[in-house]
Amino acid sequence: MRSAGRDPYVIATRSLSGDAEHGGLLFRINCAGCHGIAGQGLVGPSLNGLESRLNDPQIIQQVVSGQTPPMPRFEIEPQDMADLLAHLKTFTTPE
Ligand code: HEC
């Protein structure tokens, strides 16, 4: 299996700087229904402290692969993925 870190989409996404504010907009539209407006968890798990569990390639794969239903597969441009990633990193561990 190909390493996620070498996937061209992952590489493209990581080469861009993310805009967490725009990522927040994308999150509220696409993700908040399942993960909660503040990533606190709802139908889907809490995303707080996500960075301590998953690295960037793993987070990107989770969003675009559709390997864990019922979470759908998102087809988004690398720039939007970079923005989303920047927003996800604002969900820090509540401690
Ligand atoms: C239909 C509901 C649904 C939607 C919409 C959804 N998710 Fe999920 N998400 C889930 C579920 C359920 C899981 C747990 C999957 C599993 O591991 O079995 C999950 C897991 C995750 C994980 C892994 C969490 C961890 O700790 O391993 C991340 C990251 C994530 N989602 C991000 C997102 C983002 C970003 C979006 C929007 C682009 C999104 N999700 C949209 C339901 C959803």
Q: Dump pLDDT digits (tens) for 9-26.
A: 999 999 999 999 999 999
Contacts of the segment 38-44: beta carbons below 8 A, 24+ positions apart: 38/91, 39/88, 39/91, 43/70, 44/71
CA 64 to chain CA centroid, Å, is: 9
Whether the pLDDT of residue 76 is over 70: the answer is yes
CA-proximal residue: ligand 1, atom 13 (nearest): 44
pLDDT of 94 > 50? The answer is yes
pLDDT at 1: 44
Q: What percent of the chain has pLDDT over 90?
A: 89
Residue 71 beta carbon below 6 angstroms from any ligand 1 atom: yes
Is the shortest distance between the CB of 47 and ligand 1 below 6 Å?
Answer: yes
